[in-house]
């Protein structure tokens, strides 16, 4: 997975080790959903890639620093990158692998991008249905904190599904219009793209809103993809958060100055 990230960044420009570490942290993160970037992992990976002929050392560019090795991708590296990016290795159920592939999805064909997004969406729908079933059957066994944690997990999954619905709809709309890689956005649902409501009990946003984009009378359409790189925007854009039933409700309680607690 680290080799894929390194090759993807070197496709854009030549970099030395420190620059690679910085760019990797910016692109794929270093938290729980990142790939864990450190010099102790970057340089061995670069060594493996250099030995395989996928990268080569080039003369240092201005400002790179004396004695620093600057790496560039080779033709063999381009082919390896394409193979690693297109490989279906169960990435739909691995958040880190999915996020990494999405960060470089602009290098995939539109059909491959849609397939990747749909596989991730199918996995999340299955996970959401499974956890909802566990909550229904074991509600009495869980204390308030465990229930809250499970509900939070479901809300996060619903949010990700809504986000994927939007990305899939936009990809299909651009394909239908015969647009290029920087096709326009789409308002509302595209044919055949169901929303979060596929899962019993899932929420889809405000009343009258589209199950794909969340657009409706209380939520007007947003701007289309910024040009020229919609996929990079998609990787960083915040998902659409479904509205949780009862959000903002007022619960009577003597602890509130007005006699209640605002959730």
pLDDT digits over 96-126, tens only? Answer: 888 889 999 999 999 999 999 999 999 999 9
Where the chain has pLDDT below 70, the residues are: 29-37, 61-67, 88-93, 179-263
- All domains of the chain, ordered by start, with CATH? 2-87 (1.10.10.10), 110-236 (no CATH)
Residues 6+ apart with CB under 8 A from 213: 165, 166, 169, 186, 187, 188, 189, 221, 222, 240
pLDDT at position 86 is 86
CA 156 remoteness from chain centre: 12
pLDDT at position 215 is 43
pLDDT at position 41 is 83
| Of 118, 95, 90, residue with least CA distance to 194 | 118
pLDDT at position 202 is 45
pLDDT at position 88 is 66
pLDDT at position 10 is 94
pLDDT at position 219 is 45
């Amino acid at each position: 997975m680290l080799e894929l990230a390194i090759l993807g960044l070197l496709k854009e420009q030549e970099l030395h080790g420190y620059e690679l570490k910085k760019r990797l942290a910016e692109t794929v993160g270093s938290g729980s959903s990142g790939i864990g970037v450190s010099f102790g992992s970057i340089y061995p990976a670069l060594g493996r890639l250099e030995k395989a002929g996928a990268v080569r050392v080039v003369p240092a560019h201005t400002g790179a620093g004396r004695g620093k090795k600057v790496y560039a991708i080779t033709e063999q590296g381009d082919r390896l990158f394409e193979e690693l990016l297109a490989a279906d290795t169960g990435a739909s159920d691995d958040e880190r692998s999915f996020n990494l592939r999405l960060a470089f999805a602009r290098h995939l064909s539109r059909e491959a991008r849609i397939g990747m997004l749909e596989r991730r969406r199918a996995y999340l729908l299955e996970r959401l249905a499974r956890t909802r079933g566990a909550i229904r059957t074991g509600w009495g066994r869980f204390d308030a904190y465990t229930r809250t944690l499970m509900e939070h997990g479901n809300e996060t999954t619903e949010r990700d599904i809504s986000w994927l619905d939007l990305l899939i709809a936009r990809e299909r709309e651009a394909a239908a219009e015969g647009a290029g890689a920087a096709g326009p956005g789409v308002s509302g649902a595209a044919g055949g793209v169901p929303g979060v409501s596929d899962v019993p009990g899932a929420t889809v946003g405000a009343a009258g809103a589209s199950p794909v984009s969340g657009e409706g009378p209380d939520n007007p359409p947003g701007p289309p993809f910024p040009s020229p790189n919609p996929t990079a925007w998609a990787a960083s854009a915040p998902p659409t958060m479904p509205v949780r039933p009862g959000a903002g409700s007022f619960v009577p309680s003597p602890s509130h100055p007005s006699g209640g607690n605002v959730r």
